[in-house]
Amino acid sequence: MRLFDHFPQDKAVCPICGTNDDKPCFLMPIDETGDDRICEAQPTHAECLRDHADQFRLNRDAGIVYVLVANQLREEKNADPDQKEE
């Protein structure tokens, strides 16, 4: 895992805490976004893996460990793209 010293200051937010605070981060691959060589990735704070450990869950049937993401990210994904904030 490559660790970056600074979090990108574009629209990306950490999927765990929902902020783009300028702290060390890594690129978390996003499921179903690529082929065998390359895929999309989300900048994620390294310290959020430790600090938000209480949000991690184990799915025994699927054989995966996952983390519940910040409300902000879920709301953005579900937002109507034609509707502007006021």
Binding residues for Zn ion, rule: CB under 5 A, are 14, 16-17, 45, 48
Minimum distance of Zn ion from residue 78's CB (angstroms): 20
Give the CA dihedral 25, 28, 33, 38, nearest 10 degrees: 80
Cα angle, residue 65 at apex, residues 76 and 12 outer, rounded to 5°: 30
Of residues 13 and 59, the one with the C-beta less far from Zn ion: 13
Of residues 71 and 83, the one with the C-beta less far from Zn ion: 71
Minimum distance of Zn ion from residue 85's CB (angstroms): 22
Sign of CA pseudo-dihedral 12, 21, 18, 36: positive
Of residues 48 and 69, the one with the C-beta less far from Zn ion: 48
